[in-house]
Chains A and B, each alone.
Chain A
């Protein structure tokens, strides 16, 4: 099946098995390996991407569903050398440790701040509840989100 979509602002067309996971198409055909697989069942959020303005777990999205869509992955968050405030805050305040959950976590945090520019602590917790991290205990991730919106 031929599927066309816009990814990080660029139009792409791929020939794929319609039920292929968007995650695999991104990683294997488009070589956008910043999107990670953690569980393959929508629990951990490591494969988070933005699909038509909504964050989704790309391991649960059949590629046939994204025809005509606009997708943003972690590779599309920074503008050239200019990191997004969330990315910079994750670096400055210890929001990333091993880094495997970080792409998904950054996208979820950016999405949260787009919807709610000054979230409360509870709103941050709930906003990121679909993204699991095993290294940080989340404290420095919450702090990074707060520092990002304070900037």
Chain B
């Protein structure tokens, strides 16, 4: 037996060969005999009563399968949190592009032609399009007050502080919507009939979310619904909850027609109709002593949830908990709300509320530092949280945290001090003509891994492992490979735990008919939480072999062969156990919000062109402590990709809204960073193994989305002397204060 230790080594992507040769099969690469193509007819307006549906044009309508709300066999809602979103609008629409009717035909060009000839007639009603109008109740469009969810985090008492504080600094910060823009659009194929039930193949992050939704939609028993994840071309949260909708639509058409139905969105439909990052507005009020110690932080955090609740309460929760950052402050009050507007529901997107509230905090911390007369660095150093101190939710940090050390190392690696001094000098002397100004800024932040609070306990995730007579080990989990490296990481963990060759581990395709529910592939939980279950499940195989007395000479392969010859099969399962001393109070929103946090310092260097008003990131240093790094190439790939996406969020990606509808729903006018736009992203890790993660790992996936935006705007303020507090920060916004 080779004595190998795969953890920490750059094993290559398990499915890499299939991907570089074009052999990997994504949902649109699959076809079934007699398959029909489906299309979705959507609401042309934001809000109103459906008065009539007209089937016009020169279309032979009797050749088409047509599904409306009346054809739904079970409940007409997407089962998630509040179940307020219908699969198909039934008499009333609440946002532009809301699905109203489904069509299918064997010819995909004819189905598109037909879609354009269905006219939904609607008696329009007043709609609400902005977070501000929703808060001001310019119209009540959801529930009694337009509020999906609110939280209050209260630590100490901020009200006692204001009257005696040396300094009080206030600020307001905003972030825009952002499209996930996975390069593979949403898609699903379904086969459905009353005898066999419903089977769906699709591009998705969370097969069991789709499963739960389709059980309700069809009112069928669990075992009659089967969801299979096909190779998935990126998710970033955009395939967390949305696939429940498209899978349901394909299944409804398949149910009615008795034939397989494929629905693949084109880019325009995907961008206009599916979820985006929640826009946000955050207000800060901060009291500090004259020597720069935080006394009180009061935060009002609001996110725009769109027309239906979907995941807004949990996005709000994560944003709320991260709003006060890696600082220690005796008095904190965070009041947060997710409100309704008549735009397509906003949803999960990498970071899940935290990038929004951290943007506000890290811009505000620079402002407070300036007001106290300290450098951004020194002000933060006086307030960083340490082991034994408490967060905003009164969580005692029990792990070693060294934000000071991270900051020192990062500022050195980025040559921060020398550059800050040099840019200040050069920016002065380059006047008298159009020129480039330079600036450098940073953000310090943390990101909690896994579900918030008691979420993991409710989930009760399970992973199974199965040995073959040849001594191979198959991992059965619902965690999806979406590019982030699940297959490879799970193989490394199992291989390390059993001392087996990396290639002896097989990851079974997520299929709800065959794998246990290891929870959704979200929340930076796959490596840390599910990976730990992989480790315990495979160790269970070894324990079983030892217990059977067949593992005498420590030969796993031989023992498996003997065990299976004797007992038929060898399979073990592992169920989530929370780490000790983790307590969360859902009522008070106090306690251990996350089992572990990743800690980070990001530094951005920017140039600002006074002729074109273009701000460009010239250099980027990303330093983080994510526990033990399981695979340095995959981990750096997560950070680099997240930073690039966050640079897009900050400077490029501007969703233009017109009456609640995305007007620039094309890659031609919604711009994501290209190879020519991204600076060198220099990634560094501090390793501090986490006792309850597999091999010491914590979560990593969402973290890199959090810090770039405030670091870049802090750098732009350093370059221009002007404080910008809304992203995306487009050249036209940069131009205004400079011209005037």
Which residues does A use to contact B, with CB under 8 Å?
27, 32-41, 43-44, 46, 73-75, 77-78, 83, 87-88, 90-103, 106, 124-126, 128-142
Contact = CB atoms under 8 A, between A and B. Distances in A.
Contact of A136 (B19, B236, B641): B641
B607 to A, nearest CB: 16
A125 B679 CA distance: 10
B54 to A, nearest CB: 28
Interface stretch (B110-118, B180-188, B320-328): B180-188
A43 B668 contact: yes
Contacts of B18: 99
A132 B677 CA distance: 11
Contact of B13 (A46, A73, A91, A139): A91
30 contacts: A32-B22, A35-B22, A37-B266, A40-B266, A41-B666, A44-B183, A44-B667, A73-B22, A78-B21, A83-B17, A94-B10, A98-B482, A98-B483, A99-B24, A100-B184, A101-B183, A102-B19, A102-B22, A103-B20, A106-B20, A132-B183, A132-B667, A134-B180, A134-B183, A134-B645, A135-B234, A137-B678, A138-B675, A138-B678, A142-B675
A124 B675 CA distance: 8
A97 B666 contact: no
Interface in B636-675: 636-637, 639-645, 666-668, 672-675
Interface of B: 10, 12-13, 15-26, 28-29, 180-185, 231-236, 266-267, 482-485, 633-634, 636-637, 639-645, 666-668, 672-676, 678, 680-681
Nearest to B643: A137
Given A34-B21, A38-B184, A139-B637, 4 more contacts: A40-B266, A94-B13, A134-B181, A137-B641
B265 to A, nearest CB: 11
A97 B633 contact: no
Given A83-B17, A92-B12, A135 B633 contact: no
A33 B29 contact: yes
Given A96-B13, A98-B482, A140-B637, A91 B20 contact: yes
A131 B673 CA distance: 10
A83 B116 CA distance: 45
User: Max chain B CB contacts within 10 Å: which of A35, A96, A124?
Assistant: A96
Contact of B16 (A37, A78, A96, A136): A96
Given A98-B482, A137-B640, A33 B676 contact: no
A88 B183 CA distance: 22
A129 B267 contact: no
A96 to B, nearest CB: 5
B675 A125 contact: yes
A97 B636 contact: no
B115 to A, nearest CB: 16
A75 B20 CA distance: 9
A135 B637 contact: yes
Contact of A83 (B10, B20, B672): B20
Contacts of B680: 139
Contacts of B637: 94, 97, 135-137, 139-140
A78 B12 CA distance: 19
A140 B21 CA distance: 18
B181 to A, nearest CB: 6
A32 B25 CA distance: 11
B267 A96 contact: no
Nearest to B484: A97
Contacts of A77: 21
Nearest to A99: B19
A98 B29 contact: no
B675 A128 contact: yes
B527 to A, nearest CB: 15
A133 B643 CA distance: 13
A83 B17 CA distance: 9
Contacts of A137: 637, 639-645, 678, 681
Given A137-B643, A138-B675, A74 B183 contact: no
Contacts of A128: 675
A136 B641 CA distance: 4
A90 B180 CA distance: 24
A91 B266 contact: no
B89 to A, nearest CB: 27
Given A87-B20, A134-B234, A97 B26 contact: no
Given A41-B666, A98-B483, A142-B675, A90 B20 contact: yes
B675 A129 contact: yes
A125 B676 contact: yes
Q: Which 8 A-B pairs have the closest CB atoms?
A: A34-B22, A98-B483, A100-B233, A99-B19, A137-B644, A137-B640, A74-B22, A97-B483
Contact of B20 (A33, A96, A98, A135): A96
Nearest to A129: B676
B667 A43 contact: yes
A145 to B, nearest CB: 10
Contacts of A142: 675
Contacts of B231: 99
